[in-house]
């Protein structure tokens, strides 16, 4: 069964901003910036404000709805990457 419209909104952590152009998402934070393109997934990525992004999937089956959750998780992981210090990169 097809879902007509599936939508999720990702809100940024403190000190993180988004920049979206098409399906290319850039996450800027205190530790730098990360960019990722989601051109292989049929979705629309819209920037609501500098601190929130809306992802839409139109007419999706179960697999496309799973893509929606995957894109949101990738963006959340990018936010963690630009805010937290990795233990592996710190030398004592």
- Per residue in 50-72, pLDDT (tens digit) is 999 999 999 888 988 899 999 99
Domains of the chain by residue range: 3-83
Fold of 3-83: Outer Surface Protein A; domain 3 (3.90.930)
Cα–Cα distance, 39 to 57 (Å, whole number): 13
What's the average model confidence in pLDDT over 39-49? Answer: 92
For the chain, give the mean pLDDT: 90
Assign 89 a pLDDT band (cuts: 50, 70, 90).
low
In this predicted structure, the answer to whether residue 17 has a pLDDT above a threshold of 80 is: yes
- Burial group, residue 32, by CB count within 10 angstroms (0-12, 13-18, 19+): exposed
How many residues are there in the chain?
92
Return the number of other C-beta atoms located less than 10 Å from residue 56's C-beta: 14
């Amino acid at each position: 069964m097809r879902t007509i419209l599936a939508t999720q909104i990702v809100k940024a952590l403190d000190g993180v901003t988004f920049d979206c152009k098409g399906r290319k998402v850039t996450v800027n934070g205190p530790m730098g910036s990360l960019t990722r393109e989601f051109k292989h997934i049929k979705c629309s990525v819209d920037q609501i404000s500098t601190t929130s992004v809306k992802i839409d999937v139109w007419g999706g089956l179960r697999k496309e709805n799973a893509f929606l959750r995957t894109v949101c998780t990738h963006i959340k992981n990018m936010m963690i990457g630009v805010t937290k210090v990795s233990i592996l990169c710190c030398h004592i």
